[in-house]
Chain A
Amino acid sequence: MINKINFYIFLHFYFLMNFEQIKSVLQNKSVGIAGCGGLGSNCAVALARVGVGKLIICDFDVIIESNLNRQYFFYDQIGIKKSHALKQNINRINPAVLVEAHDIILNEDNIPGIFSGCDVIVEAFDRADMKKMIIETVLGNMPGIPLVTGIGLSGWGNSNTIRMINTGNLYICGDGVTEATDENPPLAPRVGITANMEANTVLEILLDKH
Chain B
Amino acid sequence: MNITLNNNSETIDREKLTVADLLQVKKFTFKMLIVKINGNIVKQQEYATAEIKEGDNVIVLHLISGG
A: which residues have CB within 8 A of B? Answer: 35, 37-40, 124-129, 131-132, 135-136, 139-140, 150-154, 167-168, 170, 172, 176-180, 186, 191
Contacts and interface: CB of A to CB of B under 8 A. Distances in A.
Contacts of B36: 139, 167-168, 170
Q: How large is the interface on B (under 10, 10 to 19, 20 to 34, 35 or more residues)?
A: 10 to 19
B63 A167 contact: no
A180 B41 contact: no
A136 B67 contact: no
B44 A179 contact: no
Given A128-B32, A136-B34, A167-B59, A152 B41 contact: no
Contacts of A131: 32, 63
A179 B64 contact: yes
Interface in B42-57: 43-44
Contacts of A128: 32, 63-65
B66 A180 contact: yes
Contacts of A152: 64, 66
B43 A140 contact: yes
Given A135-B34, A167-B36, A176-B62, A140 B41 contact: yes
A178 to B, nearest CB: 7
Given A167-B59, A172-B61, A176-B62, A191 B41 contact: no
A129 B32 contact: yes
A151 B61 CA distance: 10
B63 A132 contact: yes
B43 A126 contact: no
Given A135-B41, A136-B44, A139-B41, A153 B61 contact: no
- Most central of B32, B36, B39, B64 by chain A CB within 10 Å: B64
- Most central of B33, B36, B63, B66 by chain A CB within 10 Å: B66
